[in-house]
Amino acid sequence: MKKFLILAVCFLTSTFCFSQEFTKTVSSKVQLIIIRDGHGAFQIEGHNKQEIIIKATGIQHNSKGKGLTPLYSGGSDTGIGLTMNETGEVIEFTGLPRQGNQSYHILVPENINIKAEWRNHDSQKLLRISNLKSSLEVHRINGKMDISNITGPLVLYSMHGETKIRFSEINHNRPISISSYNADIEIELEAATKASLEMSSGRGEIYTDFEIKRTPSNKKTEEERIITGTINGGGVKIILQSYAGNFYLKKY
């Protein structure tokens, strides 16, 4: 018991946990917000305000670093386990290393393009993204993803993390590209979505409840397992490619 109390006191003198909020007004020239390598669970949500609001809970704030510059991560320390860099049209948040079991709820302007990039293997926590009317780029190695109410264009890669994506109305003609190494990916589209599909999974399966009008592919793929076709007469290009994951293309 005595040991425990000593450890607890030592811990509390160097770090302390608390909830915190960070707010930044976004100027009209900003076109892209990048969120990179954060630790913990993340929820990125679009809203109709021209500001970024980050609500963080479970932060273990390292008081030793207060007022200092993190040289590896760069930028300015927001005090909530993320650094921030702003360069003209881009605002970038990067996770500081050795963070604890925190979670973030990040509100972003719904019409600004978002890039969410986790290139480290140790991020296992759920990533949620929702309510975006802008271009979305996602790269993740591990950890589940739940993405909903987005229009795209979406360019997403999940190496191992099971991913669920639900599109709202797709009102653009830029390609949507979704790939995985061996992650299963579930994609939900409005039943009336007009799309031209190009799908392949080398060692996985592709399931759908859409009526696909198959079109012969003149493309070569390494294992000749490409499926091309249209739904509702064709439209936005949707490219799905996996090495060993399954795709579940569903209508709602």
Partner 1 sequence: MTEQEIKILLDKYYKGLTSLEEEGQIKSFFRATDFSDELASDKNLMSLVTSGQAFSPQAKFEFDEKIKAELLKERTDTRKIYWQWSLRGAAAVIFLLASFWLGRISSQSNQKEYLQLQAQVSKMNTELIRTNLRLTSPSDRIKGVQYSYELNSLSNDIIDELAHTLNNDENVNVRLAAGNALFQFAHNEKTKKTLIESINKQNQHPLIQISLINMMFALNEKTAFENIKEAIQNENLPFEDRQRIQKELNSQSRSL
Q: Total number of residues binding partner 1 (CB under 8 A)?
A: 46
Out of 33, 108, 116, 159, point to the residue binding partner 1 (CB under 8 A). 159
CB nearer to partner 1: give 100 or 175. Answer: 175
Rounded least distance, CB 52 to partner 1, Å: 16
Burial of 121 (0-12, 13-18, 19+ CB in 10 A): exposed
Out of 168, 210, 239, 248, point to the residue binding partner 1 (CB under 8 A). 239
End-to-end CA distance of the chain: 56
Rounded least distance, CB 192 to partner 1, Å: 18
CA distance 36 to 187: 24
Stretch 21-40 residues interacting with partner 1 (CB under 8 A): 31-32
Rounded least distance, CB 137 to partner 1, Å: 6
CA distance 201 to 241: 6
- Annotate 91-119 with b (16+ C-beta within 10 A) or e (fewer): bbbbbbeebeebbbbbbbbbebbbbbbbe
By CB under 8 A, name the binding residues for partner 1: 31-32, 89, 111-113, 133-135, 137, 139, 151-157, 159, 171-182, 202, 218-224, 236-237, 239, 241-244
